[in-house]
Amino acid sequence: MTITSFTGTQLIPVNGTGPEDVVVDDDGQVYAGLDDGRIIRITGGGNRIDTVARVAGRPLGIELYGADELVVCASDHGLLAVTIRTGAVRTLVDNVAGSPILGCNNAAVGADGTVFFSDSSQRFPIPEFRSDMIERTGTGRVFRRDPDGTVTEVASGLQFANGVALAQDESFVVIAETTTCRLHRLWLSGERAGRREVFADGLSGYPDNASTGSDGLIWVAIPSPAVSSLPLVQRMPAAARSLVRRLPTSLQPSPGREVNVVAFDATGGVVRRRGGTVEGFTMLTGVRERGGTLYCGSLTEGAILTTDR
């Protein structure tokens, strides 16, 4: 698959930092969460930015939820629902069977309101993602929240569970496992229901948020190429790994500047890919395809990126 470079891009400032994920409604309005807890709505290509709500925790993944709500993954504050019209915030899930949600990261919402969401690590909160990748804790989980509020663990043992996306027909959910550069498929229906298998392996970088586009493809953000020094650190004795984790982040294995977005079909085949470096835009952590346009978020930048699919 030929990689198409990021050309014809537009950066839309968001009056804040870190729109880690984005979602687009039927009117073309873009919603994102910032690192100060604001949930914002962008209209008119950035001509207007409204604060819809403020949430506790660091908002990450964001999804439309019914007619007037958003689902927000708020890191160690769990899975939240935000009413767009009033800004009211309610907690959907903050613990499961007494076990706290430490890293609520990304979500996907089914047609009936069922929510699948990831909890990246049971040991390290999201800001310490490097530590979880170094230690390979294997404590990432994915849950299903049914419309009646019942919460069920559907996947566990993941090396930093991250992006979650439902197939267009909702027959399976794709789960990004960041540390291993791998995507999993969990079947939800048919004779294979409950079975987990590799959907795509050997990715060029670390998969982050995932979403299902209006084109029916599974889009995955890859904010950084694989870092060659990370496997070396992972094989060190425990005491040495602990020492590396305590170094300044500038001395730890760190993300690169190249970013990618990749679209997969239902077989796990790559259909589209955009990649390269973008001036003023790194750590591309979220991607949403809508009507042929890609909307991309970043963990660290002060803008969202748009470009043709």
Q: What is the pLDDT of residues 15-65, one digit of tens each?
A: 999 999 999 999 999 999 999 999 999 999 999 999 999 999 999 999 999
Mean per-residue pLDDT, 74-79: 97
Neighbour tally for 186: CB within 10 Å? 21
Q: What is the DSSP letter of 76?
A: T
Q: What is the pTM of this model?
A: 0.95
pLDDT in tens, 165-194: 999 999 999 999 999 999 999 999 999 999
Q: How far is CA 250 from the centre of its chain?
A: 24
CB-CB contact of 155 with 141 (8 Å) = yes
Q: What is the DSSP letter of 168?
A: T
User: Domains in the chain, start-ordered, CATH in brackets?
Assistant: 10-245+252-308 (2.120.10.30)
Mean per-residue pLDDT, 65-85: 97
Answer whether residue 100 shows pLDDT above 60: yes
Mean per-residue pLDDT, 60-82: 97
Answer whether residue 276 shows pLDDT above 60: yes
Query: Among all chains, which residue has been given the structure tokens 């007494």?
Result: 98
